[in-house]
């Protein structure tokens, strides 16, 4: 099969959100810390009637409907998630509800998880499946809802679900031969307490691990590219760079880091002014380079004009929703498609996926206009990002915290009914109604 990749995509995020500016004031953080310091505008969160399963049901049902896909055509369903509702029963099995109705139970795949990387692992499974054994198309559902305990990490939560249809002749196709990964054992962010939804996180370490993984993947990506194409690769060979986005500041630092890599690799595309400004850092050891605030500032400054062109279009959803974990990288990709769909034909997008613990992969995508319904134009129209963002309901920080408290209490609980309050949910949205005494969960569709 040719041009295997993403044929269709849709995103769902909860209608409730909190402004970072209000949260900042509520938490007693200095003014600008969450908005400028972390670079975030808004954070979406689930109310007590929504969870990983309801959002996944909503987005998969919506994908099938909006692209008019026959559920019988689906041969694989993969889910990438970091939220554990059940240590044995995968989220995928709940989604079978949608396919069983059509009589199709012949669907391979279960859940993949490793922090924010589960979505990429699931996506690569789907791509490999189509590349090697095209039977029926796979669907991938990436979901995440992340909440943090009180403290500095709390403003970096978020929630969304993305569904993608994978197949041949796709408008967003994989350049699989250049794919590069970096995997290692570290304790930067993990969830050892099975009774709690909150992670244990070493924020500073996670930032350094992210940048080290980025460097390693980029170096290997470039080596593979250069071996196959016979020319040096630099960021100028990709029209857009899309990063896993825990918060926007890290994305700014990441792009600057790629630029610094190009400088160190002596790329002709780095201009003289930048060379002059980065020269003082050329002899730093790699360890020193991660700690140098001056390098961080200088590289961000020289990369700023390119950041505005190559990265900024991907930041729309991540800045408005927050860290969507397994869905974060793909919401950033969706932002580029939404913002630039009419000028992407023939272009390349470089993607970086990171999951703490740690697992990471860099890969690239080739864009083609495609043919309806699997065209960039139709994907942008289905995503309908502006309408979805504008119809959200902004709540107070107090309401957000009250909801988190209730969810803490409900996490792992049984024998309760939800309020079934669906007033904020758009029609077609699935919601949780109750969990019975056997921990069985029940959902309805609005
Ligand atoms: N105005 C403008 N900027 C400000 C202000 C202000 N009033 N106050 C602080 N800042 C800046 C800081 O200078 C810093 O920016 P810099 O890094 O460019 O210098 C930024 O705001 C953050 O402030 P810090 O004090 O450095 O960080 P904090 O202790 O608040 O923690 C962190 C931030 C580590 C990101 C925390 O939110 C966290 O642990 N999040 C979860 C972990 C995470 O997302 N890791 C990323 C990869 S792993 C993953 O995806 C889970």
Q: What is the pLDDT of residues 16-30, one digit of tens each?
A: 999 999 999 999 999
The arithmetic mean of pLDDT across residues 362-389, rounded, is 97
Q: How much is the pLDDT for 83? A: 80
Percent of the chain with pLDDT over 70: 96
Q: Helix, strand or coil for residue 345?
A: coil
> Residues 408, 412, 413, CA angle at the centre, nearest 5°?
90
Give me 351's structure tokens.
Answer: 């993607």
Residue nearest to atom 19 of ligand 1 (CA): 37
- Write out pLDDT tens, residues 131-151: 876 555 556 655 554 555 666
Residue list, ligand 1 pocket, CB within 6 Å? 30-33, 36-38, 116, 152-153, 156, 189, 201, 203-204, 206-207, 210, 246-247, 249-250, 323, 356
At a CB cut-off of 8 Å and minimum separation 6, what does 167 contact? 1, 4, 5, 7, 130, 137, 138
Q: How far apart are the first and last CA of the chain?
A: 39
Q: How much is the pLDDT for 147? A: 56
Winning range, highest mean pLDDT, from 73-82, 190-199, 394-403:
394-403
At a CB cut-off of 8 Å and minimum separation 6, what does 110 contact? 78, 79, 90, 92, 93
> Which of 146, 17, 58, 47 lies closest to 443 in space, CA to CA?
58
What's this model's pTM, rounded to 2 decimal places?
Answer: 0.96
Residue nearest to atom 36 of ligand 1 (CA): 153
Please give the Cα distance from 369 to 269 (Å, whole number): 28
Q: Which ipTM score applies to this complex?
A: 0.97
What's the mean pLDDT when you consider all of the chain? 93
Please give the Cα distance from 147 to 7 (Å, whole number): 31
State the binding site.
206, 249, 253
Q: Which residues is 181 bridged to in the sheet?
A: 361
Q: Range with the lowest mean pLDDT among 120-129, 151-160, 165-174, 233-242?
A: 151-160
Do you find a cis peptide bond into 373, omega within 30 degrees of 0?
Answer: yes
State the binding site for CoA.
206, 249, 253
Give me 367's structure tokens.
Answer: 């864009």
**Domains of the chain in sequence order:** 5-445 (3.40.47.10)
How far, in Å, from the CA of 201 to the mean position of ligand 1?
13
Residue nearest to atom 20 of ligand 1 (CA): 37
């Amino acid at each position: 099969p040719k041009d295997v990749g993403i044929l269709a995509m849709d995103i769902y995020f909860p209608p409730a959100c909190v402004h970072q500016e209000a949260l900042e004031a509520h938490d007693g953080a200095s003014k600008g810390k969450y908005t400028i310091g972390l670079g975030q505008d808004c954070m979406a969160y689930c109310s007590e009637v929504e969870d990983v399963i309801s959002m996944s049901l909503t987005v998969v049902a919506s994908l099938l409907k909006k692209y008019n896909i026959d559920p019988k055509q689906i041969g694989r369903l993969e889910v990438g998630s970091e939220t554990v509702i059940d240590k044995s029963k995968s989220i995928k099995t709940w989604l079978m509800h949608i396919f069983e109705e059509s009589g199709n139970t012949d669907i391979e795949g279960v859940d993949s998880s490793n922090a924010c990387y589960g979505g990429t692992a699931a996506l690569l499974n789907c791509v490999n499946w189509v590349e090697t054994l095209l039977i029926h198309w796979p669907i991938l559902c990436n979901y995440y809802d992340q909440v943090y305990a009180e403290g500095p990490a709390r403003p970096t939560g978020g929630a969304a679900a993305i569904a993608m249809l994978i197949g041949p002749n796709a408008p967003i196709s994989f350049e699989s031969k250049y794919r590069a990964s970096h995997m290692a054992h570290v304790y930067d962010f993990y969830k050892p307490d099975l009774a709690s939804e909150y992670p244990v996180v070493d924020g500073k370490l996670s930032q350094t691990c992210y940048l080290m993984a980025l460097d390693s993947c980029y170096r290997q990506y470039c080596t593979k590219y250069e071996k196959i194409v016979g020319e040096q690769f630099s960021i100028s060979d990709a029209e857009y760079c899309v990063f896993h986005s825990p918060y926007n500041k890290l994305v700014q630092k990441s792009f600057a880091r790629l630029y610094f890599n190009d400088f160190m690799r002596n790329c002709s595309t780095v201009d003289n002014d930048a060379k002059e400004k980065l020269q003082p850092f050329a002899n730093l050891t790699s360890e020193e380079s991660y700690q140098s605030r001056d390098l961080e500032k200088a590289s961000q400054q020289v990369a700023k004009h390119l950041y505005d062109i190559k990265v900024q279009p991907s930041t729309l959803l991540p800045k408005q929703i927050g860290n969507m974990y397994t869905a974060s990288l793909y919401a950033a990709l969706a932002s580029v498609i939404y913002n630039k769909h009419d000028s992407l034909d023939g272009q390349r997008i470089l993607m970086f996926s990171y999951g703490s613990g740690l697992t990471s992969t860099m890969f690239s995508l080739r864009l083609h206009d495609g043919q309806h319904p699997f065209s960039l134009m139709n994907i942008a129209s289905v995503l309908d990002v502006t309408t979805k963002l504008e119809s959200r309901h902004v709540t107070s920080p107090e309401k957000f915290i009250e909801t988190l408290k209730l969810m803490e209490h409900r996490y792992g609980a049984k024998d309760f009914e939800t309020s079934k309050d669906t007033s904020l949910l758009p029609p077609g949205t699935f919601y949780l109604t109750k969990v019975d005494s056997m921990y069985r969960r029940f959902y309805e569709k609005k």
